[in-house]
Each structure stands twice: as C-alpha cells, then as structure tokens.
Structure 1
C-alpha cells in the first residue's frame, strides 16, 4: 500500500538520494533535518520503499535505529503501511520484546542492537532516527555499533533529526571526529507553519513570574545548568507557577510540563492536583507498562497534565497537546526545540498551543524557527581543515570559502555585516518585529565572484538609485543543492518559453555580455532583521525584461 506524500516529503527523499549520488564515499554521511510534525516515520518508510524499488537486484536490507520503544513502533507501523507484502519487517528490540535479525527491514533500539552487529547479516542501508544523540567527538554506542557493523558489510548511512546540533548548539557536522559530513535536505519549521502542517505556539498576554537561574553554575561537561543547583532554584517557584498556569490555561485541555528533576516534577504534580488539575508524572524511570497506561489515559482525556523531565521530549506523539509549561531553564537549543515541538502538531479543533515559559529560555535562545547550529571554537584559529556553514551545517572545504557549496548560503561578506537583532522573547519568528524594506530596482549588475579553492559564483547586485541594496550569489559552477537552486534562479529569469541553462558562471556572463537579457525585478523586498540582509520576494512587471530573448548559439546544438 502507498499513500500520497506531501510535496516537502517527496523533495526530502529526492534530495537525500541525490546527496548520496553526488557523495559516493561510504564515509560521506548526511543528515536529513525534519522538524517535529514533518512526518519523519513517513519519510523513512517511503525512502526504504524506494530503495527496494530502485535496486531490487541488491535487495537493500535496511536497518532503522531508534532510541526508544515508542519510536520503534511508530516506524514499524509506517513501514508496514508502505512496503510491499513480500518484504518482511522485524524488530530487534528488548523493549518491544522481539529480536528478528533476518528481516528485510529491521527496526532496532540502539540499546539492544549496540553489541549485536554480528548477527544482522548483510545490511545495505542504516537510517538513524533522532541522530542528534550521536556524539560528534568519536565516542558512544552509536559510533561503536556502526564501526562494528562495518566489519561485516558495506552500507550507506543517513541520520534524521529535528535538531542537527548537540545540546551545546554545535553542529553535528562539527567536532573532533564528526560522523556526519553534511546536510542532505532540510525542511524548515517556518515552511510547515506557513503551509498549515504545524500548529503555532502562542505566548500568554499575562507576564509570567520568571525563574531566576542567574546564580546557577554551568556544567563544563554539558554546557548547561548544574541540575542539582537548578533543581533547588526551581523548587521555590513551583507553587506560584502552578497557580499561574491554572489561571491562564483554564480553557486548555491537554498540558505537558517540563521540569529539571524528578523531585521538581513530583512537586509540580502535587501542586496541580491540589488545584484541581488531574496530573501524573512520567519520567525515564517510570516502568514501561505504567508509562504506556498513563500516556493512554492522557490521550483519552482522563489525565489533563503530564509532567516530565526529559521522557516526553522525543518520540511522544499526542497531536492535541495545547499547552506546555516550561519550568526548565536551559542553555541547550536541543532541549528547547524538542520540548517546544511537543505542541506543534495539528489536531482537529486545535488552533494553537499555549507556551508558558517560566524561565528566560525563550528570551535568551530566541524563536524556535530561527535557531541554527554553531561552529565550535577552535583553540588555534585558522587551523581548522574545514568551516561549518551557519545555515545548513555542511562541512565547507577549504575554510576560507565565502559561499557554502552545498546550499549557497553567504557564510560571510567581504564588507562588514549588519549587527544581530534581539528577538524580544518571541517563541516563533513571526512574532518578532521584522525590519522589512521594499526597494524599487533601477538596475541589476552581474559579475564573477572568485575565491581561491572554491568554484566561482555569479554575484548579482540590485541597485536602487546610487545604492546597492542587496546581493545574492548564484552557484552555477557548484554541485548538489546549490546548483539546483542556481538553475531554478536562472530559469525564473529567462525569457518566456526559453529552457536552456548555462553550464557555468563564465557561460552565463558570456550570454549576458552578448545580449541575452535576464528578466529584471521591478522591486525586491529585503529582510534586514538577521545577520545578513535576505531577499524574501521579487516583484515583476512588463518592463522587467523581454518576453523573448536571443537564444545563445552555445546551447543551440
């Protein structure tokens, strides 16, 4: 059985397969960035279906690795819906209670499969769900397992996650020995919100009492607050937070709450129950049978609030959650995005999810749809073998490149960039006051941009009067996603009915110099809120360019 994929899901699969094709080495391992609610299990299932359809002669047995029983069952359910009947799906998971190492597609929990690579036979593809759990520094059971499996077979690997960075914010493609080497595809949270596939988070009108964690030490090991100290600080705010939540979220039906420790969670549950909100605690130590029962009662509406530490941060799929209580001050963008993501799923009758942040997390980390990874700080600046793209996380070699060859992002400009702006504590970027300007364009200039060690790009400058108001770089001589974007850009500006595209930056400039006229926008809209100005839309009219242009002889043959 098959079902209709959403457009972004089909695109994600196409881009992941294309990335593997253009990066053939087995040590080239990409990440697919898919926000909470994007349908990772659906994408995994259809990707596996396509692997067997494309290469039936290889019988590409696939291993899907997940961190929990819940995710194992979700993935197996979607696989059973999509795959043809002759392909057998099996579990290798102690928590599920089944170990089938001979199935065509194996869904395994990492804790069970970690030391059992030798029993799996020939595996052609490994897909790691929630891959942000893998250490970028060469340690951990995921790395040990993949190294062990490579002794017995050759396989392609990909990771999937909503957050392609570690808890300290460093890209998974960065680190001392990163497993992942690039971002093959990314679905942006903003796109899913705009298209109605996710439900927005909203802040209350009331000002919440804020937990003051300024005196809490930061752990050198984790980069986050010391949990023992944080628990003591949060404890003093729990009663007040419970009273405020009951008053503000009176019309909300399904709440989840995040606390730093089990002791905090249990105290909050007692406070909420005392105020008439039926509440239970679910933690990593909750026995599986009890956990499943509590989540089942929560789904059925018999429990109004579940309080947790981290147990509900991933793999918890209750779409109609409409209120989140955040009593977990953190410096970790992963915890923040994963926790807030529990309220993003859409459900019948749900219009939004109330985000009650009793900490400074939202104010400090910013809107969840604008959070990106960061490169680690080098103890010896200028010696790194690669840079990491701020926008997509790809490893960029050499480190001196100005434009990311994978996504076309301008990593830095030769001119001084504009300063970053404050987010004003909005949980979504749409709630931030944007600095948007519209410019009527008088002319567009094109030039070749070169940097030692990288392919050239076509620099496009938009002029309003005597001022260059925006630039963009079109990567016609690159490969992968950057080239696909460049071709789309050039096609949009070519005369109507004209389908040829230049094969390089030099050829594009030769065409322009010999009379080929690209359509010129009459105006552009530029967002100057972020680090670098970004063109967000183009306006066209009949004077923006010719209906037909001279077709260059170079592509006539």
Structure 2
C-alpha cells in the first residue's frame, strides 16, 4: 500500500488504463512536466507487485536509475523488492519483483524473461532494440507495455503503441496551479535560412548542429544574450540552453566577464561534478547554468528564467527544455523566457503544442497535413515591435507595454534590437526604491574613484534618469552596497555604451578615409588636404602620425 495519494492527472490516467486494459496490449501515457509520471509508475507497479507479478522499469539514462528507485521507496513500494539491472551493483538481484534498468544497459544484453509488465520512461526516444522488444512483447508474448512521455510526438510511436492515454495537458496544469505561467520575449532572431536540416533518434528533424552553432557563436548574438539578461533577467536563477560545448563555453566566458557567475554543464560532465555544479546553482553561488544536451530529464531545481539560444525545429526538444522552468516554487508567478533562437515564433507557446493521436507515418494524407499546418500557423504568437513580448495569437494590443501597432505592423518585426525596458502596466517605482537605486549608484561612483577610474556626477544622474525617467532630485547621497540587480544594470549600460562608441567611431572615421582617397589637385591643395586629415585623425585618437 503506497503512502501517497493520486493527484488529478494520475487518477485520470489510472482510470483510463483500467478502462482499456483488456482491449490493448501497449499504451502511451501523455504525461507533461508536473503531472507526476514517477508517482503514476509507482501506482501501476504497486498493483502488479501486490499480486506477486514482476515489473521492469526502464529509465532513459543510467543516472536516473538510483533516483527512480529512491522515489519508489519513498512512495511506499517494498525496498527489499527493488533490484537493479546493473553489473556489480549491490542491489543487483534478478529474483526481485521490481527491476530497474537503463535503456542503454538493456540494449547491450539479453532482455530479461518472465516479466509481466514493461514500463518505459521517456518513451519518445528512439532505440531500435527497445522498439523490437515492444513489438515482440505485445504481439507474441502478450506482455503489457506502458510508455511514459511528456512529448509523445515522435513519428514512429503510432506503430508501436496502440493506445494514447492523455489524462491532462500543460494548459490545464497551468490553470490548476500545478505549473507556473510564462512570459516570452524574443530580443533577437538569427538568420537560419541557409542552415540545413538533419534527423536524430532523440529529437527527429532539426537544424544541423555544426551550422547553427557557427551562427549562434557570433559575437553580436552572444553579446545580446548577456546584455539582455543583465538588463532584464532580474538576477533570477537561470538556465541557458546552447548548441554545443564551444558555444556554451563562449557564452559562459562572456557572462563571467560581465561579473555574473555562470558554469557549463554537458552530457559528458562527470556525475559527481554535475551534482556539485547543481548544488552551487541551488545555493545561489552560481547564477546561470549553461547547458548542452542535458538538464532535460530528472532536473527539478528552481529555475526562474530560461535563455534559449539553441534554435530548433523539434517540438520535443522545445517542450523538454522550456518545461524546466515551468515548475512552481514559492514566490514564483511566471518563468521568464528569453528566446534568442526564433523558436517561439517557429513553434509557438508550450501549452499550444498538443496531439490527440499518436503520430505515425502516413501514406499521402496531404490535405489533412496542410490543414493542420494552417491551424498551427493561426495559433503561433506574434512579437510586439516595441518591447519584444510575445503576444498570444489573436491579441492585437500588447498586454505587456500597451503598444497598439498600425495595421500590418506586427507581421514583420525588427529582430536586431535589444529588449527594451517594459512599461505600460508596470508598477510605478516607489520613493524607497528610487532612493535605494540612487544610493547604490553613489556607492558605485565612490568605488570607481577608489580604483582610479572615476565617473562624473552627470553620469550618475543620467544613469538614474535612464532607469526611472526622472532626475534624482531630493534624494539623499549616502552610499549603499551594490545589489546584483543594480550592478547588472550598470554593466548593461557600460556594454551598450561601448558598442555605441565603437559604432560612432567607425562612422566618423569613414569620411576621413574617403577624403584621403580623393584624387590630388594642386600642390597647395594637396598640402592643405593632408594637414586637414592629420588634424581629424589626431582629434579622434585614430593615430598620431600619417
């Protein structure tokens, strides 16, 4: 008897399975983030074990075996009956009624015999031998198979699972408070028109990784990621999803240079190192986890913001990653998502991606496919041209900044600008908040003076005005230690100023270069021209000698 009570989604799934149990041999349970699929597995397993029947639970990765076994024991399943299919593991015992294994282990050895139920977690992952096992069990031995997935969108699933069980949706979980809401922004959108498409077993059709990595490693795009987070990330615990290790390292270095502690975690990061990195993140020592091919399954830390810098065509990849930020936590109303990949424009919001049938390769249903594509296009969000907030389909006036576009203006958007400061419905700052910011700006000024790189009183006043739209009149000038929020804002301003100065210098030098290339006139005119060029170069600090 388990010591937990089934939630709404779990109870619905159990009722649906009981209803169709005799009619079908294989089931795919559509179990979104937050619906409790490990708990559902425990309820199903308990029903078999209580009758002396054997259950094999398959996890997608070795790292999740111990985690699943601990959860089963916490839920009340008999720990003495939980065995591991894992060579040399102390709990390796083929005679126990509950066997837990990783898919990678099973495909390298003979499949266990005499099981009564096979449960496969993350069943959308394509592993040829596992699919052959499913077909053999359901067609020849009549052993029941239950697949679990929050993203059962893989095109082959309909050929191996006979019945889709859909107990809930992401939208319903949000409405019931099981998952939090989201706020999507699209500060930048890379040009991927020339990137080829490839296919993987895990995510299906998607952009070719090496080509998209080359684009996303551009200094301007990475700079936008850092400056946008400094301005609008609110110092929230954040996960950044990158294309490959090189891209992740570059993003991490740029954040560290800006004074933000970020660490890289990849699929090849050793297990012990991974636990330490995640621990530092949960304690607040690390502010941003930069991920490559990991933090998808089995990662339940409190994530308040997501930087999505991994362009994708895969609905599975999109939902799996965004789902990391949708879990609820105290004081968390919504997860901020900064999409620097164009994926939200391409695929839509996570709660708008739904299927009522298991996908399977069709033989020419072109009209139906075209109709579904048109319906999906109608549901895609639109970007506000002012604040880059992603508006739901059919929403005309931006709910974030109140901007009302002219007819047709929100069809094509400017994707080269950074995310602007939100306004409109934003709560007006209090006098206490203004005083706090001004005191911290003064602290920063004194800190710079001690370092020998002072900033002027005018700079301080203009920094305050940029933030609040008013001058710091009537405020006390006593200094207060910098907070991460104010520090990040100042760093953002410095980066933006440096970019603007570089651009202005390039524009000012251009006429000088054109002048120097002009054809010579008389000797006197040529001498006057050289004197003028020299003076311009000296004034602009381009050089001291011709």
TM-score, normalised with respect to structure 2? 0.64
Change (3 A) 1:278 1:122: same
Partner residue in 2 for 1:29: 26
* Partner Cα distance (1:49, 1:213) in 2: 49
1:62-141 map, 5 Å: 62-85=55-78, 88-93=81-86, 99-118=92-111, 120-134=112-126, 140-141=128-129
**What value does the CA root-mean-square deviation take over the aligned residues?**
3.3
Change (3 A) 1:150 1:362: closer
Partner residue in 1 for 2:416: none
* Partner Cα distance (1:13, 1:434) in 2: 38
1:458-497 map, 5 Å: none
1:115-514 map, 5 Å: 115-118=108-111, 120-134=112-126, 140-146=128-134, 155-166=143-154, 170=155, 172-173=157-158, 178-204=159-185, 208-219=187-198, 222-236=204-218, 237-252=221-236, 254-318=237-301, 320-373=302-355, 378=362, 380=364, 421-425=378-382, 431-433=392-394
Which consecutive unaligned segments of at least 5 residues does structure 1 have?
391-410, 436-557
* Partner Cα distance (1:341, 1:61) in 2: 32
CA contact (8 A) 1:200 1:344 kept: yes
Q: Secondary structure at the match of 2:206?
A: coil
Alignment of 1:51 with 2:48, yes or no, is yes
* Partner Cα distance (2:284, 2:88) in 1: 26
Higher helix share goes to which structure? 2
* Partner Cα distance (1:84, 1:232) in 2: 49
Displacement of 1:377 in angstroms is 6.3
After superposition, the C-alpha distances for 1:180-201 in whole angstroms (9 at most, x for unaligned) are 1220233111111000000112
After superposition, the C-alpha distances for 1:480-528 in whole angstroms (9 at most, x for unaligned) are xxxxxxxxxxxxxxxxxxxxxxxxxxxxxxxxxxxxxxxxxxxxxxxxx
Q: Secondary structure at the match of 1:158?
A: strand
Aligned residues: 383
Change (3 A) 1:325 1:109: same
Which one is further off, 14-23 or 255-264?
A: 14-23
Q: Secondary structure at the match of 1:232?
A: helix
Displacement of 1:93 in angstroms is 3.5
* Partner Cα distance (1:243, 1:312) in 2: 24
Higher strand share goes to which structure? 1
* Partner Cα distance (1:2, 1:83) in 2: 5
* Partner Cα distance (1:95, 1:245) in 2: 46
CA contact (8 A) 1:117 1:149 kept: no
Larger Rg: 2
Which one is further off, 59-68 or 238-247?
A: 238-247
* Partner Cα distance (1:95, 1:68) in 2: 18
After superposition, the C-alpha distances for 1:437-463 in whole angstroms (9 at most, x for unaligned) are xxxxxxxxxxxxxxxxxxxxxxxxxxx
TM-score, normalised with respect to structure 1? 0.62
Whose RCO is larger (CA < 8 A, sep 6+)?
A: 2
After superposition, the C-alpha distances for 1:214-269 in whole angstroms (9 at most, x for unaligned) are 221122665211111111000001122122112210331x1111111111011111
